[in-house]
């Protein structure tokens, strides 16, 4: 019964994440807000998940699992290998983005350096067309 209870807690935590994301967006998902949503202590959330990223990965995996199982049924045993390969590729891309966000140079560029300004070419006002006006003396064909 202990394992079933732990699975139930994990599932309720993951459902709380989904509710928060649907209601208020991803930025609203903090370990504290998730704990409040479930009605448990924040420490309990940390007993099940290392950090927010670990929790979000678990939610993603739980959402993908039924799709992977369905692909297995339709495509056979190799479908799981293909689906896991796609998932791993997505995880590598996500990890690269996370690393880029943690890169000190990127952080400095975003936080310290001013954003590059796009300078549009300045349009010079056009002079009004010159009217021929009277010809200077001595230039007429008379």
Kindly report, residue by residue over 96-126, the tens digit of the pLDDT: 555 555 555 554 455 444 454 544 555 566 6
pLDDT for 15 beyond 80: yes
Q: Is residue 140 part of a domain?
A: no
In the chain, what percentage of residues exceed pLDDT 70?
52
pLDDT for 88 beyond 80: no
In this structure, are residues 38 and 49 in contact, taking their beta carbons and an 8 Å threshold?
no
Look at residue 113 in the predicted model and tell me its pLDDT.
Answer: 45
- What value does the mean pLDDT take over residues 56-61? 90
Nearest Cα neighbor of 17 from 27, 29, 4, 9 is: 29
Q: Is residue 129 part of a domain?
A: no
- What value does the mean pLDDT take over residues 61-75? 79
> What is the domain count for the chain?
1
What CATH number does residue 45 fall under? 1.10.357.10
Q: Higher model confidence: residue 100 or residue 15? A: 15
Q: Is residue 35 part of a domain?
A: yes
In the chain, what percentage of residues exceed pLDDT 90?
32
Helix spans in the chain (H): 2-24, 31-38, 42-48, 52-75, 78-102, 104-111
């Amino acid at each position: 019964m202990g394992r079933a209870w732990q699975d139930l807690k994990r599932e309720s935590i993951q459902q709380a994440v989904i509710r928060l994301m649907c209601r208020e967006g991803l930025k609203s998902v903090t370990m504290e807000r998730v704990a409040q949503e479930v009605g448990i202590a924040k420490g309990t959330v940390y007993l099940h998940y290392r950090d927010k990223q670990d929790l979000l990965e678990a939610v993603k995996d739980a959402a993908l699992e039924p799709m992977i199982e369905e692909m297995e049924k339709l495509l056979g045993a190799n479908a799981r290998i293909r689906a896991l390969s796609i998932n791993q590729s997505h995880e590598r891309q996500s990890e690269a983005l996370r690393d880029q966000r943690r890169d000190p140079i990127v952080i400095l560029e975003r936080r310290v350096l001013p954003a590059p300004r796009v300078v549009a070419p300045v349009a010079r006002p056009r002079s009004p067309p010159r009217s021929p006006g009277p010809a200077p003396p001595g230039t007429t064909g008379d």
